[in-house]
Amino acid sequence: MPDPNATETVLPYHDPSLSVEERVADLLGRMTLEEKVGQLLMLNAQPEDLSFINTRQPGSILHILGEKTRRAMHLAAQNRLGIPLLIGEDAIHGHSFWNGATIFPTQLALACTWNPELLERMARVTAEEVVTTGIHWTFSPVLCLTRDLRWGRVDETFGEDPYLIGEFAAAMIRGYQGQGLDDPRGILATAKHYAGYSETQGGRDASEADLSRRKLRSYFLPPFERAARAGAMTFMTGYQSMEGVPSTCNHWLLTEVLKDEWGFQGVVVTDWDNVGRLVREQRVCETIADAAIVALRAGNDIMMTTPSFYEGAIEAVRSGRLAESEIDAPCARLLALKFRMGLFENPREPDLEKAAQVVRSPAHRAVNLEASRQSLVLLQNDGLLPLDAGKLKTIAVIGPNADDDLQQLGDWSLGASQHPPEAGKHPREATATVLDGIRALAPAGLDVRYERGCSIVDDDLSGIPAAVAAAQAADVVVAVVGDHLKFVGETRSTATLELQGGQIALLEALEATGKPLVVVLVNSKPLVLPPAAKRAAAIIELFNPGMEGGRALAEALFGWLNPSGKLTISFPVHVGQQPVFYSQVRGQHGTRYADLTQEPLFPFGHGLSYARYAYTNLRLASSSLTAGQQATVMVDVENVGEREGVEIVQVYVSDVVTSATWVNKALKGYARVALAPGEKKTVQVDLPWEAFQIVNAQGEYVVEPGGFDILVGPSSRERDLQKARLIIN
């Protein structure tokens, strides 16, 4: 008989009173080589058979939901050492693949709010929904810098500016991770794709990125350093190569910069099967054992969905080509993360009863609606908007994206390419489309007529006559056009930026009716607009506005909402203008193409309001700085319109003469200011010493003495900006 007075021995790694370092050392010392290598695997848990959790003992899994997640956790607990799983999911702009979750605007849309506090709230809501379903980790935010607009993943980015990307990323990291790693209501954030993935050739996804280390340090690395300083505990590599080196093999990037220079203490995870691609696609390694050695020595800690890494790494150690200590180091980093999260004490199993109460709760829907409101951008308005609904009898809502919930939610949502069709889609009633929103807010007696008009994915024009008839019978026409999931996402870059299918013909036909036309864009990236759209009375940009986007659009149409969003990405006139981003490196012959302007149609920072704002009296607290000082910029902004509104005041810096070529100007600060009609406020923006840095020819961050132009205004367009000169001694 067992002695009832005997106490069970607690192994040191199970003792939470010990330090993380002591617990890691004890556990690592008990592990076999196979168990260590297993910890470095992140395996796809979509198949129903989860036996691999006991045969390979992976440290992490992804793409698993609901009660299946609990089953996986219990299987891991049965392994010899009972090491808990770390479970990840693509909760990109909401709990993307949880049926009925709160789906927010995409990152590109959210960026147009210029409101980090709102992005932090969005990430907090997402974390609260994710944790109830047993997920620990989201592969978000995306810190890629948009360059070629044809790239299929533009919608996942915050746009074209490194400074804003860093600010917004830090906000989302705070929201996701909450009070710290042991916060049971928080989830791990991922800074991705590290780094330079978005510098594509011809806009093609995962192509060679033609980037020097100086160019990386100048534009692509600063947002990631900001994320590391903000406490992001995971970084994900990109698919691309730079200077002949795949990111998975880049020791300088993953170890020398991230871990050594920035002091990153978290883990680096590869993107999907990046280790396998070294053999299969990029062909820089002959065998999976070769690839395992290269990936480990470069600084990767977790190998996502490369099951053969298990055999490859074990073979490399058994053959003497790889030291077991080279397995120990990344394994220790992952174990330390799990201990700091408290997963050994609380594996954070799903609580589906709580999920039913939390997911898409009224409070979460309210945050979502506010995000949709603030992300809406009024691009053009001849005075038609806001509509005076009391003077209207009929409104025609026309277009392929007017009542399409899938296009409104965008990529990385149920119904998009990442999950099979049998996974279904979010409940139709969860999303207020543009048509839904207009019908809900239209006053009694206003007749709302709808026609789809055309398709985006084919050239069928058979619906245009009915659309024209509806327009002719209406007082005003709202045409909702844009793009389709078929042209969005990984591997889905486009050769052009034109409106696809029958949309151009539809807009021309609607324009020919002579009825006032409002064009609404539901799209994943800037598109080249046809003349009929550019001649419209008004243009509103929604991007992919999430579940509440239709409500926000209707509020703007009828004047309940005064738009305040500003673009964080430039709209070209023609696809051949690229690159069209505002921060161009100086030095070229001429200022235009022989056959076309180089100016964008709508520039970075552009966004109109139903109010009007006047900028006066730009000044600096001091016209000169010495090393380490900050500059204080002040400008008076007055609402000279008849409605209250929010203006986003933008501050750019231009280093007049630099030792190496540099950009014409770069955003370095901004402020959101609320103004009542007739109200004037002095807006102050402080620019830290680092705002005046360039990267010199030696790849060093330096502030060079000389003159700097401080440019302040409502957009990046030169004619919108006031200028003051600052001297740095």
Rg (Cα) of the chain, in Å, rounded? 27
Q: In the structure encoding, which two tokens stand for residue 428, read together?
A: 């139709």
Phi first, then psi: give them for residue 519, nearest 5 degrees.
-100, 125
Q: In the structure encoding, which two tokens stand for residue 660, read together?
A: 């190496």
Q: Please give the Cα distance from 112 to 544 (Å, whole number).
A: 12
CA-nearest of 118, 136, 119 to 127 is 136
Measured over the CA atoms of residue 630, residue 171, residue 251 and residue 19, the dihedral's sign is positive
Amino acid at 91: A
Virtual CA dihedral for 439, 442, 448, 452, nearest 10 degrees? -40
Q: Please give the Cα distance from 474 to 38 (Å, whole number).
A: 65
Grouping H, G, I as helix, E, B as strand and the rest as coil, residue 654 is strand
CA-nearest of 112, 59, 107 to 87 is 59
Q: In the structure encoding, which two tokens stand for residue 729, read together?
A: 């001694």
**Residue 180 — left, alpha, or beta (φ > 0 → left; ψ -120 to 50 → alpha)?**
left
Q: Is residue 242 a contact partner of residue 209, using CB atoms and an 8 Å limit?
A: yes
Q: Is residue 467 a contact partner of residue 506, using CB atoms and an 8 Å limit?
A: yes
Beta strand 60-62 with 41-44: parallel, antiparallel or unpaired?
Answer: parallel
DSSP codes of every residue in 446-505: -EEEEE----SSS---TTHHHHHHHHHTSSEEEEEEE--GGG-STT---S--BPPTTHHH
Kindly name the residue from 271, 273, 404, 436 that is annotated as catalytic: 271
Give the H or E element holding residue 328. helix 325-341
**Is 271 assigned a catalytic role?**
yes
Crossing angle for the helix pair 222-229 and 162-177, to the nearest 10 degrees: 30
Measured over the CA atoms of residue 713, residue 718, residue 723 and residue 725, the dihedral's sign is positive
Q: How does DSSP classify residue 152?
A: T
Q: Is residue 249 a contact partner of residue 278, using CB atoms and an 8 Å limit?
A: yes
Alpha carbon 68 to chain centroid, angstroms: 28
Owner of token pair 């919108």: 720
Q: Please give the Cα distance from 410 to 407 (Å, whole number).
A: 5
Alpha carbon 387 to chain centroid, angstroms: 33
Residues carrying an active site annotation = 271
